[in-house]
A and B are shown apart, each in its own frame.
Chain A
């Protein structure tokens, strides 16, 4: 069963189809006409539009899996993907959850406890706190760590439930806002404090582990290009202009953490890199949105690997067997009004032309005539470009974006084109402040 929606549900369905695995799709009433619903072997409506009553509706989801006699559930990303309780419930009902064990999900999914565990493995982390118990504790922590600080959701991801606090006067409001957003997005409003490291790069490492203790990494991705709300918009691999020593160190630390916690299935460790310093930030115990760039460079199907691992197969290869080749870039296309603080743009897609040609991959659930529901995040497509060199990948991406036509909703395509043309991007010397600076110049 595919317990998700949109492009990732379609992605999972594709992997299953190639593996000869039959699929059951679940959908909300707002997604009845969605592409993956049409392509799955069976489909069940599990609730109305709002995610809390559909894609987070554990009883209806489990009930559907049992009725259709599913063997396993793939949670995708977001929603229940990092919900340890859901993984437990799956296992209680004899359903294989495609991801790590509940124990590991809980350990690494809780951002504050993850840092503790990682430090045990000898990996440096950003100065910060455990889960805050009160606003007062937040004030104390911020003072001792030193402003500026980040308030982050411990159950969080995708930039939600996060606030930057530059000075004490902003803290109360930021605390309230982050708590509310986190509660709404993840049903868990707890926060922790982290030192805000200025102008770092966001570099993450992809890992895979099987149930026999074999762990490998599949290179790093640079995801520094982020919208003001810490939401990624352009990602690439390998990270450009990264000192070889630091690159090797990131890979090695990722493997060390995985072995230390007994990590299985797919995961990503996120780091902040500033100068020669590297800090572990958090680990996402799931497949990530930007996984396609790694797939292109390593010529591997990560979703298939997830399914294989969950079915008890061993990886079948070792680190030495893996070699990244070439360069890949991904641009996320969102239905958003860039000029209006990226406000989600609703609407029906009237005309749609996606690019093709050498080295281009498009992951999307969109089709002409599709209506974009207002209940979910606004990403509608991912365009991925691959080339032997970074220059070729950039040229292909520029060509692909200029070929792309999406009418009926506003999208971030033009913003992506501008990002690719910016000197800082072309030189491969950018950090997490890059996009904010670019936008401020307009």
Chain B
């Protein structure tokens, strides 16, 4: 039997959330070997707005179970931990999802891998990017208001703070939204003996030299690459100009950067779908400036 790399998403918004996450982690050890876990995040409920907030995390584990067996095992854990089949977006004692399984793509009635809404959900991408930096670009491409809804819960002495009252988390969320909308980096509110400080940390990920190298082994089948300028010059789209939404089967020259009389081509680095043209045709670009976003399938 061979070992497979799976990423599992954990969510809970009922009962003692920190305890639920801990119990889920213990139960997951029956499914495989836990390799790494992300921080725990406090997140706004997705799809419904009148519920308690979730704790979310992502773990990577090595398992010998097949994808469907893994799904069954996760459902069994959910039942053991007290989840009842309730409404689709209702409160959950525990919610375990298969996010990624090796580099497989699966689409049947029971299971979709990569998880179908992975690319849109900040509460998945933020913890996932902690474990696999290749998702950082996808995370950074989310709207700031989405990212503001995902708040990392600080650990005190190794244990997750379990009780965050809804008033405090509401205030924190409001401050986070305020921060993400402007240039401010840190906001502090003091009222009597209460104080809240929210800081925005720059998410600088050390990108590998090439904007999109593929690792030898990995779990991601769905890729989302940002092609950035690696020199200073004038950005020019190739003719005929590529357009957003266009797909191409193989490597394609999309643009060139003109500098010091030399035109350096910018390639798509393989097949994919052009999701966004991030730079303006004919205008200067600096080092590291995003030029194109390409979804790989």
Contact = CB atoms under 8 A, between A and B. Distances in A.
11 contacts: A45-B232, A45-B287, A46-B287, A48-B288, A54-B287, A59-B260, A60-B232, A63-B232, A93-B260, A369-B185, A369-B186
Contact of B234 (A33, A48, A67): A67
A45 B186 CA distance: 24
A80 interface: no
Interface string B285-297: 0111100000000
Nearest to A47: B287
A44 interface: yes
Contacts of A61: 232
A331 interface: no
Interface of A: 29, 33, 44-48, 54, 59-64, 66-68, 93, 369
B204 A29 contact: yes
Contact of B259 (A48, A59, A68): A59
A29 B233 contact: no
A46 B204 contact: no
| Interface SS, B side | loop
Interface of B: 185-186, 202, 204, 231-234, 259-260, 284, 286-289
A63 B288 contact: no
Contact of A45 (B234, B259, B260, B289): B289
A44 B286 contact: yes
A417 to B, nearest CB: 32
A335 B80 CA distance: 55
A59 B287 contact: no
A298 to B, nearest CB: 38
Contacts of B202: 33
Nearest to B283: A67
A66 B260 contact: yes
Contact of B260 (A44, A48, A62): A62
A68 B234 CA distance: 11
A357 B120 CA distance: 55
Contacts of A48: 287-288
A67 B286 CA distance: 10
Contact of A63 (B186, B260, B289): B260
Nearest to A369: B185
B137 to A, nearest CB: 15
Chain A CB count within 10 A is highest, among B186, B204, B287, for: B287
Contacts of B259: 59-60, 63
